[in-house]
Chains A and B, each alone.
Chain A
Amino acid sequence: MITELGHFALILAALVACVQAVVPMIGAHKRWPGWMAVAEPAATAQFLLVLISFAALTHAFVTSDFSLRLVVMNSHSAKPMLYKISGVWGNHEGSMLLWVMILSLFGALAAWFGGNLPPTLRARVLGVQAMVGVAFFAFILMTSNPFLRMAVPPFDGQDLNPLLQDPGLAFHPPFLYLGYVGLSICFSFAVAALIEGRVDAAWGRWVRPWTLLSWVFLTIGIALGSWWAYYELGWGGFWFWDPVENASFMPWLLAAALLHSAIVVEKREALKSWTILLAILAFGFSLMGTFIVRSGLLTSVHAFATDPERGVFILAILVIFTGGALTLFAARAGAMQAKGVFGVVSRESALVANNILLAVACFVVFVGTLWPLVAEMLFARKLSVGAPFFNMAFTPFMVILGLLLPIGAMLSWKRAKVGRVMRQLAPALGLAIAVAGLFWTIQTGRSLLGPVGLFLGTWLVAGAITDLLSRIGKSRDYSRLLRLPRADWGKAVAHGGLGICMAGIAGLMAWQQEDIRVAELNQPFELGGYEFELLGVERVRGPNYFSTMGEVAVRQDGEEIAHLYPEKREYPVAKMPTTEAAIDYRFLRDLYVVIGDPQSGGGWTMRVYIKPLANWIWGGCILMALGGLLSLSDRRFRVAAGARKATPAKGVPAE
């Protein structure tokens, strides 16, 4: 019964979206206030209906209702509750329902917090948002209905893919979708602005918080996925340049570019048409990501529900929306006149450079991801494009970005002097060179990777600190630091986070140590100054798996510093093994221990890794997300969002 209600609510939501896609658009065109006003309650109703639908599906998973096909395929009564819930989006149909729920959530948020938008713009934004919604409701109801019943319900389900039964991965998709789908609202703003034929500073200010929010979610989602790969896949890789990873990385790069170019629109009324184009492309790449994951076009570890019919449907959505928006862009972009005048050396120019680097980096990922397809179709060559290509072709742009960032971030608007900024940054540069030199001399081998990464990391962090300090001027009054706008803090924290992330990636890739051996019980071995000893191996039974659990003591200078329990699990229902590495997390390095199979001659296969600076990668990502949130909480966004409620009649809030 509850399931049918959920199904019914989903159909109703689709109908509401149809109304919301048509009526406000006509209203905005004809300037009929009543028709435009339909958008707000429709957006709210649409969201509530999808929420009901999602709750109904969650209920079916939580109560293990095996009359529902989706629950049978992806759940099991013995599965822990957390994974019963995460199982809702751990499959194609459920994840699409999550997708439209977030889509309608962002529509509703735009309706609730968009009180200060001009009525026509607001009606059009919500109308465009609903159009995207209609397409995806149609997709779900026609090709991927999660509410289908079984004719004969079985006694138990087939369990969720064990790799997905993990806390890190339980929350990875929702965050990723919040980011992906959040970009839809930027897309709607861009298309609405094109229809209105006007982009001004206020538009830049409205779009920026949404971009920032989506970017923060994407950052967290990508970091969670990467962290999961690190501890779950058994050798501590954190990024594989897999098509599906690239599909989430491309919107991230474009969202980062967009949130910077929107600053130029907001502050200086320049880069308007480029910003619109970026907003369209960022969501276009999100749609393409969905297409790549679900069409089976590109083989990937993550691809699920590979079904040509669904792929074609999503391809049609992708072509109609990005194609339509780009056509509109081509027709209207000429009307976007830049107003701000700025010198060749200025913050504006630095942000143009930022956009060039991020967009070109995204393009490299794009070409590399699709090249196997192009080569096969046009030149009949079956080839692969993997990590070695991306490491070589992508990294240079990030290095240039890191080199320029601290300088660009401190240039003043309109007209700036590089000499003045460089004098302020001299200590940071000196420190960075010293750190790089130090690590160049103490490392074994002659790899440039580590020193360059640490140079960039130090340069970015010290540059961010210099930037903050420069804001208090010569007064040396450090209490002024606390009174700086949160946006300034957000900028410094996010840029510092990028530096820490870069240093972590370089450190891990350059200085990782590895040992693979057959470990005998109670026979210690040494790696990188640590002594490891396998004390015992036990068979353990979990809620829905069996586990082979090793007990490993780690000693440094004869003193025990950690006791690790690496596991190898077997999920009998899903018939899949997983490795659960045991990791001793430390600030400067991780110790990473994996246990393998028993050997016929006694002993167990064991892999031990020392991973320097591994945590810095995710620590940097967390800092970037935190910086985004700090920026988002800046007073001027709160004032802009709350302006309507605070002052309906009085006009202007007091300064």
Chain B
Amino acid sequence: MMRSVLALAFVLIATLAQAVQPDEILDDAALEARAREISQGLRCLVCQNENIDDSNASLARDLRLLVRERLVEGDSNDEAVAYIVDRYGEYVLLKPTTGGWNWLLWAAGPLLFVFALLTGALYIRGRSRAAAPAEAGLSDDEKARLEQILRE
């Protein structure tokens, strides 16, 4: 009895699909390469942070087929992506656009880098011009302790 239940469960879960299937692959290698490139930039909507190229979900398969359909129809990469975005929203784009406030996302790193460079340069300049301060603040007792600790 137990055996047959397990066997049934086995059959049920074995039907789950995997990422890109052989039957999806286009005969035209150049088109297929473009389809792969596009699908690596599109998010599987029902998965958690997976692109449709890697995803096992059936919705991801539908999207993969849709991308290929568009490419076969003669769409350019951008047109095919725009077609998907029109229907599913910009949530599917793993690489966000630069439109609207998104420029801030793209510029955040470079802006902070410039700021940090300036701050760092100012600090280093200050350090290179500073005079060595006189020893102060440590009592004799503490100095002895520091000496002991720093000694190798």
A residues whose Cβ falls under 8 Å from a Cβ of B: 116, 118, 198, 200-202, 205, 233-235, 237, 240, 242-243, 270, 299-301, 303, 337-344, 348-349, 352-353, 355-356, 359-361, 363-364, 367-368, 371, 375, 378-379, 381-389, 392-394, 397, 516-518, 546, 548, 568, 570, 572, 575-577, 579, 596-597, 599, 605, 635-636, 639-640, 643, 651-653, 655
Instruction: List 12 extra interface pairs beyond A116-B148, A116-B149, A636-B152, CB under 8 A.
Output: A200-B146, A301-B50, A352-B124, A355-B120, A360-B116, A382-B90, A386-B49, A389-B95, A394-B109, A397-B109, A596-B21, A605-B21
B146 to chain A, nearest CB (A): 5
Chain B residue, CB-CB nearest to A298: B49
B residues whose Cβ falls under 8 Å from a Cβ of A: 6, 9-10, 12-23, 25, 40-41, 43, 48-51, 54, 89-96, 100-102, 105-106, 108-109, 112-113, 116-117, 120, 123-125, 127-128, 130-133, 137-138, 142, 145-146, 148-152
Chain B residue, CB-CB nearest to A386: B94
Chain B residue, CB-CB nearest to A361: B109
A-side contacts of B12, CB under 8 Å: 575
Task: Check B9 against A575 for contact (C-beta < 8 Å).
Answer: yes
Chain A residue, CB-CB nearest to B101: A379
CA distance A643 to B50 in the complex (A): 53
A-side contacts of B18, CB under 8 Å: 234, 579, 596-597, 605
A576 to chain B, nearest CB (A): 7
A-side contacts of B49, CB under 8 Å: 240, 242-243, 299-301, 384, 386
Cross-interface CB contact of A570 among B14, B123, B131, B133, cutoff 8 Å: B14
Task: Check A516 against B90 for contact (C-beta < 8 Å).
Answer: no
A625 to chain B, nearest CB (A): 25
CA distance A341 to B54 in the complex (A): 54
CA distance A651 to B104 in the complex (A): 58
CA distance A548 to B125 in the complex (A): 66
Task: Check A368 against B132 for contact (C-beta < 8 Å).
Answer: no
Task: Check A381 against B9 for contact (C-beta < 8 Å).
Answer: no
B-side contacts of A579, CB under 8 Å: 18
B102 to chain A, nearest CB (A): 7
User: Given A342-B127, A364-B109, A546-B10 in contact, is the A359-B149 Cβ separation under 8 Å?
Assistant: no
Task: Check A301 against B48 for contact (C-beta < 8 Å).
Answer: yes
CA distance A613 to B112 in the complex (A): 34
User: Given A341-B131, A363-B109 in contact, is the A198-B54 Cβ separation under 8 Å?
Assistant: no
Chain A residue, CB-CB nearest to B136: A337
Task: Check A343 against B128 for contact (C-beta < 8 Å).
Answer: yes
| 12 contacting pairs across A/B (C-beta < 8 A) | A200-B146, A338-B127, A344-B125, A348-B127, A379-B100, A382-B91, A388-B94, A394-B109, A546-B10, A568-B14, A635-B152, A652-B148
Cross-interface CB contact of A381 among B14, B90, B116, B133, cutoff 8 Å: B90
B49 to chain A, nearest CB (A): 5
Cross-interface CB contact of B6 among A353, A546, A576, A651, cutoff 8 Å: A546
User: Given A393-B109, A572-B9 in contact, is the A201-B127 Cβ separation under 8 Å?
Assistant: no
B84 to chain A, nearest CB (A): 13
CA distance A518 to B23 in the complex (A): 8
CA distance A548 to B13 in the complex (A): 12
Task: Check A367 against B123 for contact (C-beta < 8 Å).
Answer: no
Chain B residue, CB-CB nearest to A546: B10
User: Given A344-B124, A352-B120, A640-B149 in contact, is the A360-B19 Cβ separation under 8 Å?
Assistant: no
CA distance A200 to B150 in the complex (A): 11
Task: Check B13 against A576 for contact (C-beta < 8 Å).
Answer: yes
Task: Check B13 against A655 for contact (C-beta < 8 Å).
Answer: no
Chain A residue, CB-CB nearest to B32: A516
Task: Check B151 against A383 for contact (C-beta < 8 Å).
Answer: no
A-side contacts of B138, CB under 8 Å: 200
CA distance A381 to B108 in the complex (A): 18
Task: Check B51 against A387 for contact (C-beta < 8 Å).
Answer: yes
B-side contacts of A299, CB under 8 Å: 48-49
A-side contacts of B14, CB under 8 Å: 548, 568, 570, 577, 597
B-side contacts of A379, CB under 8 Å: 100-101
Task: Check B116 against A368 for contact (C-beta < 8 Å).
Answer: no
B-side contacts of A388, CB under 8 Å: 40-41, 94-95
Task: Check B96 against A389 for contact (C-beta < 8 Å).
Answer: yes
CA distance A24 to B137 in the complex (A): 24
CA distance A344 to B12 in the complex (A): 68
User: Given A240-B49, A341-B131, A381-B90 in contact, is the A368-B113 Cβ separation under 8 Å?
Assistant: no
